[in-house]
Amino acid sequence: MAPIMDPSPPTGPQARRRWWAGVPAVWLSTLLLLAGGYFGSMQRFGAFLFSIPVLASLLLIAVVAAIRASMKRAGRAHLLVAWLLIGLTPLAYLESYDAVQQIRFLVWAATHYRQVSEVVKANNIVMGWDSWGMAGQDNYSYLVVDVDDRLESKDRAIRWTKQVGQSCGLWKTQRVWPEIYIATTYTNCPFNGIEPAE
């Protein structure tokens, strides 16, 4: 009678999936990181309020799972990945909005390449880009052009605002392309004559 052979261990993608799902702390911390990035990418006040209990619950569950995994002497690599993902969640929350806006601009530019080549010829406000707020506290961001490509400088931002005929100061700027920025004005101060984004 032929001996019964043990099935060969999984390899390739199957092995990676089994490694990732083998310890709950790993996939729970992955879920926490993804949730942090998702909620951070939205500036809506309602999403912020909803994110507090969701992220707090996921954080507690992920930390407890990581502690239990260490008590059960899970692999060092699993524990390292779990704690690393938990630690990166605040960064994902804080940085995901800018990353999403960068991707959004690249998608927009790919379908409006002729407009992009035209608008960079002079300082101007291209369009309303985003808006958010609640209870009378509204914020607005715009896609703008600075031919000097120095809009992240406070002094340059002040001069640029005057050059384009606006009085609202810039609270934040994000360079998404040479000479092109997403500029956010101070609360309740939209640019005159520019239709804000919905």
Q: Is the pTM higher than 0.85?
A: no
Rg (Cα) of the chain, in Å, rounded? 24
Residue 89, CA distances (Å) to 34, 68, 136 in order: 8, 20, 30
The pairing of strands 124-134 and 137-145 is antiparallel
Number of Cβ atoms within 10 Å of the Cβ of 97: 17
Question: 198: closest CA among 34, 27, 44?
Answer: 44
The residue among 26 and 4 whose pLDDT is bigger is 26
Amino acid at 127: M
The winner for highest mean pLDDT among 20-24, 56-60, 115-119 is 56-60
Query: Is the pLDDT confidence value at 145 over 50?
Result: yes
pLDDT digit string, tens, across residues 37-55: 999 998 887 888 899 999 9
As a whole number, the mean pLDDT across the chain is 88
